[in-house]
Structures are given as structure tokens and as C-alpha cells.
Amino acid sequence: MAEPTAGPSVAGRRARMTVAYDGGGYHGFAENAGVRTVMGELRAAVARVVRVDVPLTGAGRTDAGVHAWGQVVSGDLPVGTDLADLRHRLNRLLGPEISIRAVEWADRADFDARFSASWRQYRYHVDNHPDPNPFTRTTAWHVSAPLALWAMNAGCDALIGEHDFAAFCRRPKVAPGDQAPSLRRHVQRARWLAVDDEQRPGLLRFEIRANAFCHQMVRSVVGLLVRVGLGAVTPGEVRSILLAGDRAAASQIAPPHGLVLWEVGYPPS
């Protein structure tokens, strides 16, 4: 979508959107000059509808190829904006790759999709059937060798709680003299389960919830746990790798297309 010509941003009323998208055709969520991104398309469409430029904030920065069902976006819309009409028009402009699932006025003026969030939850799908499934090829990682679900769940135990996840995170670039940001995160939930769906036999789902995630953390965790399921790593070694902070030990990164930002949680108002 071409960038519209918009007037200056105007003060308005804080709104929040719940956004789903197929990330396969985008270079990630966050705006990036010269490439097509989800936020770039969304912001351009909002400006086209409301006739002013609206700075937007997202709850999470998903990578290229990663999908979302429950991404949350906040921004100040002109007072008097018809939210139902806005949602309808945005979906006509952006669908089917991007869908606005809900738009509502925020319950407080300082609501921020990113900084007000208390947790994020991701899902990752693995197609663990000997034969590839055409209907999951863009949303699940096909691993044809049998995976031991019990072992993968046993490996999850070490992840629960607050830890330094340096072993699972791509280290951010830091300018000389600056302090590297902390990679400590609090994981509240991590588990694998088999999905009961006759049209998608062998589908496994990984769910993980934490206060925040660092770059490539979920995909690195999935990559290691799949190695656990294959018997290449024992469940007990997951804790050793986590404590050692050795990025090379958890270097297998699951492909992006199996990952979905599923939900973002906020404290009650």
C-alpha cells in the first residue's frame, strides 16, 4: 500500500486494536524504510481512513515470516472516530493478510500497547507426521521424524521462572561504552500438547507465556526442545544450557512460519 499524503498528527483519544496477520509476505512487524512491514501497512491504512497521521505502538515486534492472532496496537485517533466504521474500512484495505479483530477506546489515556502489557503468549506449531501436509506448510514446521512429547514437556520445566535467557536470544547490538540490555525474562508457562484435528494429523503445539521475550527467544527454545524430542539432547541438559548461557548450544532456530503471537495480557483497570 502506498504511503498516503496526510496532514499533521492531531491530539485525540487513545484507542487499542487487536490485530491478526499472516506474516509470510512481510519483512516483520515494525516499520522499516524500503520494505513492506505489517505496521507500515497498518499505519498507512489508518491515515488514509482518518485523514491524519496517527503514530502507532505495537505490543510485540515479530520477525519476518512470523504470524499473529492477538497483536495489540495503540494510538490516538481523532475524537469522534466511528470505531466500527474504521474497523470495516481497514479490513477492506488490508485483508485478508491483515485483519483488525477488534477496535475499542482504551480505558485510560496513558494506555500503551507495549509498556502497559504484563505478559505475551506465543504458540508454535510443528507438523510431526511422516508426510508433509499442504494445509499446514505455511503455519507449521514439518519434522518428519517422531518426537517424544513427554521429553519435550520435561525439558520445559527448566524454563519456568525468571532466568537469564542469553543462551536463547540473539544478542542486541550495543554501541561502544553502552551497557548491554538485560536478557532476564520471567516465563510463566511453557508446554507442548498434541492438537486433536483429523485434518492435521500429527500437529503439535508449543505454548509459552512470559512477561517479555528477547529476539529469537521462542524460536531458539523450540529448536532446542525439538532436539530433545528427537533424542539428541536430554531434558536435563536444557537446564544446563540455560544456566551456561551458551548461545552455540541452543543455536538451532526453528523457522519463523510456525510461530504466532497469540495473545497479550494487561492488568485489570
Could you tell me the three cell numbers for 199? Answer: 485434518
Helix (DSSP H) and strand (DSSP E) numbers for the chain: 5, 10
Yes or no: say if 45 and 90 are a contact pair by the CB < 8 Å rule: yes
Could you tell me the three cell numbers for 245? Answer: 548461557
Which residues are CB-neighbours of 133 under 8 A, at least 6 positions away? 127, 140, 142, 200, 201, 202
Compute the distance between CA of residue 211 and CA of residue 161 in angstroms, rounded to an integer: 10
Yes or no: say if 98 and 38 are a contact pair by the CB < 8 Å rule: yes
The catalytic residue among 22, 63, 76, 127 is 63
User: Closest Cα to residue 41, out of 52, 56, 51?
Assistant: 56
Compute the distance between CA of residue 116 and CA of residue 111 in angstroms, rounded to an integer: 6
Known catalytic residue at 63: yes
Yes or no: say if 13 and 74 are a contact pair by the CB < 8 Å rule: no
Active site residues: 63
